[in-house]
Copies of this chain bind each other. A is one copy, B any other.
């Protein structure tokens, strides 16, 4: 990521770690509800927190992923997993809070994911797709491992639409040469803000009309 100065780099790392932490908590809570043991909680926390970034890095050829090149990255999902293991009743009661943090994590991941893909030379459309994959990939792996249809595919309040929008804003902003800091913040605000509004107002995406043939 040669184009990123050291201050921006530090900001991106912090942003990344907060996103991993929040997503790992959500993975750990799913594991607790599925009645898994301590290793199951840790594994689901780690795959949820790291899965989206791993999918992006493998596809754009940025291997090994950052989280495998620096062991401190791994402390975060495992810390979040242990925290969930011991304090899940309290965390579970704070579901509203966890959902809010999930929206913030989603915003961080899609903006940072799209920016990294642009840094690796992808065009704006594929980079937006990689931002989306970064944001929703970890949750998809979590849900597949836990034996349920990924939340991104389930009919519910808007989740993927704000994620795609934030990723697209970041990608195209960087493509036309705007400042990385500015563009990443705007992409984050678009995604997280829209997602939070959708949660509060109960907005849903359009569904196919007419009955499905079988």
Which residues of A are in contact with B by a Cβ distance under 8 Å? 29, 31-41, 43-44, 46, 54, 58-61, 63-65, 67-71, 74, 85, 88-89, 92-93, 95, 120, 122-126, 129-130, 140, 144-150, 152-155, 159-161, 164, 204-208, 210-214
Whether the Cβ atoms of A63 and B58 lie closer than 8 Å is yes
Q: How many copies does the complex hold?
A: 3
- Docked complex Cα distance between A37 and B204 (Å): 9
**Interchain CB contact under 8 A, B145 and A148:** no
Contact A144 B146 (CB under 8 A): no
Residues of B within 8 A of A126 (CB): 64, 67-69, 71, 74
- Besides A34-B149, A59-B68, A144-B145, 9 more A-B contacts (Cβ < 8 Å) are A29-B212, A33-B213, A38-B206, A39-B164, A43-B153, A60-B68, A64-B120, A68-B122, A145-B153
